[in-house]
């Protein structure tokens, strides 16, 4: 079951033994291997390219083989999300610095989504409750409760913050997908052409019908995704702070 892959210092099997005939007698699949492969496909080819067949192909087998280790595509996506969620680092909880730590958590998650953009599409398509999700929930929720926020309100606040983080990442992933579909490789190049497109479109709008949009085209396209993310994050954190008792 847990036969190791051939490590480099192992003596290779002589090619004349069991060569030709039954070359790969049995592949050894595992859930971890499948999840890892799925994540690799997701990162390199995007969400739309992630299919059971594609994963199986990368493992040099057929799609049916995966179903012994994974219930289906939905579970695979959840497992991939759990997998990357496990990567994020959480500090020791310090309720006195709840705002700073909550922002730190948000930035950590945001950074993860920048490394694995299409995971956001997997994340929003499911309701994950694996160990990594629980770990994150315990951290964030506990932070607010220990800082003195009423438990019910802390639940609401964390729920909203989580929705924002995933939602923002999802939006980013959509742009990555569009970039990929347009055959571009460089993110900056894509962003530039996208903005240019919007600018020219907004400029062509009838001034009397859309005065504000037409007049402030440059203001509307000034901020990039990162700016937008930080603004929304600050909005939420400040709102939470304003509701924190006896701050």
- Residues in the interface with a copy of itself (CB under 8 A) total 54
- Residues in the interface with DNA (CB under 7 A) total 25
Instruction: Determine how many CB atoms are found less than 10 A away from the CB of residue 75.
Output: 14
8 A C-beta contact, residue 167 and residue 232:
no
Nearest one of 90, 2, 73 to 38, comparing CA atoms = 73
Q: Which stretch binds DNA (CB under 7 A): 55-63, 93-101, 111-119, 195-203?
A: 55-63
Q: Is 212 in the site for a copy of itself (CB under 8 A)?
A: yes
Query: Least distance from C-beta 49 to DNA, angstroms?
Result: 7
Cα-Cα end-to-end distance for the chain = 55
Both tokens of 75, joined, read: 């579970």
Closest CB to a copy of itself among residues 58, 177: 177
Give the CA distances from residue 231 to residues 140, 164, 224, in Å, rounded to whole numbers and listed in that order: 20, 12, 11
SS3 content of the chain, % helix, strand, coil (to 5): 65, 0, 35
In this chain, which of 242, 245, 246, 247 binds a copy of itself, going by CB under 8 A? Answer: 242
Q: Residue 135: CA atoms inside 13 Å, Cβ hemisphere, count?
A: 16
Rounded Cα distance between 165 and 233, Å, is 8
In this chain, which of 7, 22, 152, 247 binds a copy of itself, going by CB under 8 A? Answer: 152
Q: Is 182 in the site for DNA (CB under 7 A)?
A: no
Per-residue binder mask for a copy of itself (CB under 8 A), 114-133, x = binder: ----------xx-x-x----
Rounded Cα distance between 103 and 114, Å, is 16
Q: Is 207 in the site for a copy of itself (CB under 8 A)?
A: no
Q: Is 80 in the site for DNA (CB under 7 A)?
A: no
In this chain, which of 67, 151, 196, 207 binds a copy of itself, going by CB under 8 A? Answer: 151
Query: Least distance from C-beta 233 to a copy of itself, angstroms?
Result: 9
Give the CA distances from residue 41 to residues 30, 77, 204, in Å, rounded to whole numbers and listed in that order: 17, 12, 41
Q: Is 90 in the site for a copy of itself (CB under 8 A)?
A: no
Q: Is 235 in the site for a copy of itself (CB under 8 A)?
A: yes
Length of the chain counted residue by residue: 247
Q: Which stretch binds a copy of itself (CB under 8 A): 3-11, 63-71, 83-91, 144-152?
A: 144-152
The SS3 of residue 170 is helix
Chain positions contacting a copy of itself, by CB under 8 A: 124-125, 127, 129, 134, 137-138, 141-142, 145-146, 151-157, 159-160, 163-164, 166-168, 170-171, 174, 178, 198, 201, 205, 209-213, 216, 219-220, 222-223, 227-228, 231-232, 234-236, 238-240, 242-243
């Amino acid at each position: 079951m847990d036969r190791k892959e051939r490590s480099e210092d192992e003596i290779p099997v002589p090619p004349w033994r069991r060569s030709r005939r039954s070359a790969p007698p049995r592949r050894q699949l595992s859930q971890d291997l499948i999840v890892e492969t799925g994540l690799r496909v997701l990162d390199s080819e995007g969400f739309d390219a992630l299919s059971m067949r594609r994963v199986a192909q990368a493992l040099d087998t057929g799609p049916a083989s995966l179903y012994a280790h994974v219930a289906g595509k939905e579970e695979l996506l959840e497992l991939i999300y759990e997998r990357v969620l496990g990567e994020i680092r959480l500090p020791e909880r310090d309720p006195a610095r709840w705002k700073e730590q909550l922002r730190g958590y948000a930035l950590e998650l945001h950074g993860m989504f920048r490394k694995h953009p299409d995971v956001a599409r997997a994340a929003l398509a499911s309701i994950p409750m694996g160990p990594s999700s629980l770990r994150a929930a315990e951290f964030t929720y506990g932070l607010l409760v220990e800082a003195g926020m009423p438990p019910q309100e802390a639940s609401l606040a964390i729920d909203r913050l989580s929705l924002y983080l995933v939602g923002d990442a999802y939006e980013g992933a959509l742009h990555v997908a569009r970039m990929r579909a347009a055959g571009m490789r460089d993110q900056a190049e894509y962003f530039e052409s996208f903005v240019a497109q919007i600018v020219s479109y907004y400029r062509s709008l009838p001034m009397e019908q859309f005065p504000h949009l037409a007049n402030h085209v440059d203001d509307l396209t000034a901020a990039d995704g990162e700016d937008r993310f930080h603004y929304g994050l600050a909005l939420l954190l400040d709102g939470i702070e304003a509701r924190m008792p006896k701050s």
